[in-house]
Amino acid sequence: MGIIHVAVTGDDTHRGDEGAPLRTINAAAAKAMPGDTVRVHEGVYREWVRPVRGGLSDTRRITFEAAGDHVVVTGAEPVTGWTRTADGTWRVEVPHALFGGFNPFAEELWGDWLVPGQYGGRPTRGDVYLDGVSLTQVYDVESVAHPERRESVVDGWTRTTQAVEDPAWSQAVWYAEVGDDVTTIWANFLDADPNAALTEVNVRPAVFYPEQHHLDWITVRGFELAQAASPWTPPTADQPGLIGPNWAKGWVIEDNVIHDAKCSGVSLGKEISTGHNFAAVRGDKPGYQYQLESVFTALEQGWSKDRIGSHVVRRNHIYDCGQNGVVGHLGAVFSTIEDNHIHHIGTKREFYGFEIAGIKLHAAIDVQLLGNRIDHCTLGTWLDWQTQGTRVARNVYHANTRDLFVEVSHGPYLVDHNVFASPVAIENFAQGGAYVNNLVGGVVRCGQVIDRATQYHRPHSTAVAGFANILGGDDRWIGNLFTGADVAGALLPGAIWLDAAPAASGTSAYEGCPVGWEGYLEAVNAAEGDHERFGTQRQGVYIHHNVYANGSRPFSGETGARTVSGAVEAAVVEDGDGVWLETTLPADLTDGHVGLVTAADLPRVRFADADFENPDGTPVAADVDLLGVCKASGIMYPAGPLADLPLGRARTRLR
C-alpha cells in the first residue's frame, strides 16, 4: 500500500513521492494499484480523471483524496480576449483546438423523455461561467442583449408557471455559433467585465469517470469537482455524469463539493449496451417498452449484487446541476446515499424533460436514502420503477416545488422520520409503501397507473419475480403529522395527472380504497371472473394513528386519528449555516400518540409478497428519529419525525 502524490508544481516524469510529485491526477491513476492512495495537493487541475484499474475489495481500494487543501478538478478551461459589442454585450472566438475532439457547443442535448425546443431552441452541452457561476443559454444573438424574455418559465413535469428565483442573474446569458475552426460566443455578463474575471467554458464531458466498466472499489474524497458537459441521462440510455463509477461495484464518493454538471452530477447509472435512447432514435416503441427490455438485457449481462452497485455517496455538497444531483438506473442497487446537501437542481430551467430531480433513481433495490438535506429543487427525490427494499429516512425536504415522488413501484419501501415542507409533499403513483412518523406540510396525491405494468423482484435481489400495474393503495400511514396544506395553490390547472389524482391535505387522498386486507378481499370477491375482478380495484390501505392540523383530513376508515383544533405552525427556516424547524404546538399535539413502529406493524405488500426488511433481511424498525434519537418499545411518542416535540413556540436545529 503506497501513497502517490500529485501537485501543480509536479511533473508526470517524477516518481510520485512527496518530494517529487506528479503533475496530473491521470498520471497517478495510471500508476495506482489496489491498496494505493493518490493524494492530490492544493490547486486547480483541468482534466478528466479516467481511472484505468480499480481495487480488489473493500479493504484493498484505490483511493483518490485531497490532501487537506482546496483541490479543484474541473472540466472547464479559461477563455480570454472578450471584446465589447455595439449593444453592450461581449463576444469571443474560441479556437477548436481548446476543445480537442469534443466541442460541447456543437453537441445538442437529446434522448428519451427530453422535450426539445421548450424555450425556443435546442440546448447544447456547452456552458459559460463567470467566476465559477454559470450563465444561461439562449438561442439567438438578439436574446443576449434582451434576456428579459426568460422572466417567466415552465417547471418540468407539472408544467406550472413560476418566476425564476433570481431574475437578475437569469439575465446573464450566452449564445454560441459553431464554425469550421472557431466557436463564437456572445454573452451578457450584466455589469461584469469578463476580461477582469475568471471566465471559462466547459470542454470535458466528465470530471471523474472511468471509460471502462467494472473498475470496482474506488474512493473519491475531499475534492471540488465542477463544470462538466454531461449529457441528458434518461433511464433508457447510457448515463454518464460529472462523477461516477460507470457500471461497477463498491465506489465511495464522500466529502466532495460537486457542482455545475450540465445534466447529472453523480451518476450511479446504467451503461450503453443495455440500450441508448432507442425510443428517440427509432420511434417504433415507447420508452417504457425499451426500459422494460433494458432490465432483462442487464440481467443477461450479469446485473447482480455480486457485480454492480453497493456504492456509498455521503457528505457531499451537490448543487447547480441541470438535470440531477444523483442519477441512476440499475447501477444504484444496494447503495447508500446519506448526509448530502443537494440543492438548486433543475432550477436553471434551460431545458425541460421528465427525468429531472435532486435524486432520480430507477430500480432503487435496497437503496438507503438517509439524512440528506434536499432543497430548492424542482423535484427533491423521484423514485421511479422497482422501488423495493428502499428506505427514505431522516431527510429534510424544503423550498422545493415538489418533495418526493414515488412512481410505478410495488414495494416494500419505507419512508420514515422525514420533514416534507414544500407545497407538494408526497406524490404516490406506486403501491406497497409505508409512511411512518413524517412531518407532512404540503399536499399528498396518490393514484393508479393501469396503462403500464412494471417489474417487481425477489427480496434483496435483482431477479425479476413478476409484473403488475399500479392499482393504488396497499400503503401504510402511521404516526405522521399533517400540518395543513394549500391544496388550491399547490398545483396550477393543467398539471399532469391533476384530474386523475387531485391534491389532498392529509390521508383523505386515499378515499375510495378499502380498509385493510379484509376490506380488499370483500371488494374483489363481490365480483365475478378471474383477472377481471382485480383489474381496476384499488387495494386495501392500513392507516392509523396519524395527527391532523390546520384543516388536513384523515382517511375515513382510519383508526386512532387525532384532529387538533388549535392553530399549528411548522416551518423550515435557513439561518446562517443552520437549518431550523420553527414550531408553535398546542399541548395535545406534543403528547405521546403512537408507539415504536416495526415490521410487525407493517403488513406484507401484496404483489411482491414481501415483508418490510432491512437490506440484510432482518425485520425493519422505524426506531431512530430525525435527530438520531433512538426510540424504545413500550413508549408512546408524538406523531411526526421528532421523539420529543417541544410545547408552545420553539426552534429546533435540524442540520
Integer Cα distance of 563 and 38 in angstroms: 58
**Mean model confidence pLDDT for the chain:** 93
Class of the CATH domain delimited by 77-202: mainly beta
- Is the pLDDT confidence value at 38 over 50? yes
0.85 exceeded by the pTM? yes
pLDDT > 70: percent of the chain: 94
Q: Are 205 and 125 in contact (CB under 8 A)?
A: yes
Stretch (H or E) spanning 449: strand 449-457
pLDDT level of residue 150 (50, 70, 90 thresholds): low
- Is the pLDDT confidence value at 148 over 80? no
CA distances, 167 to each of 173, 190, 191 (Å): 12, 12, 15
What mean pLDDT comes out for the span 396-407? 97
- Is the pLDDT confidence value at 496 over 70? no
Number of Cβ within a 10 Å radius of residue 516:
18
What mean pLDDT comes out for the span 464-492? 90
Task: Say what the pLDDT of residue 565 is.
Answer: 87
pLDDT level of residue 632 (50, 70, 90 thresholds): very high
What mean pLDDT comes out for the span 75-95? 97
Residues pairing with 622 in the sheet: 597
pLDDT level of residue 500 (50, 70, 90 thresholds): low
Least confident of 64-68, 104-108, 124-128, 528-532: 528-532
- Is the pLDDT confidence value at 159 over 70? no
C-alpha cell of residue 22: 506528479
pLDDT level of residue 162 (50, 70, 90 thresholds): very low
What is the amino acid identity at position 64? Answer: F
Integer Cα distance of 535 and 519 in angstroms: 16
Does residue 412 have a cis bond before it (omega within 30 degrees)? yes
C-alpha cell of residue 89: 454585450
Stretch (H or E) spanning 653: strand 648-653
Residue burial 321-349, b: 16+ Cβ < 10 Å; e: rest: bbbbbbbbbbbbbbbbbbbbbbbbbbbbb
Number of Cβ within a 10 Å radius of residue 124:
21
Phi, psi (rounded to 5 degrees) for 293:
-65, -35
Residues pairing with 572 in the sheet: 581
434 three-state secondary structure = strand
Task: Say what the pLDDT of residue 170 is.
Answer: 65
What mean pLDDT comes out for the span 46-69? 96
Task: Say what the pLDDT of residue 281 is.
Answer: 96
pLDDT level of residue 441 (50, 70, 90 thresholds): very high
What mean pLDDT comes out for the span 627-633? 98
What mean pLDDT comes out for the span 541-566? 96
Domains in the chain: boundaries? 77-202
What mean pLDDT comes out for the span 130-137? 96
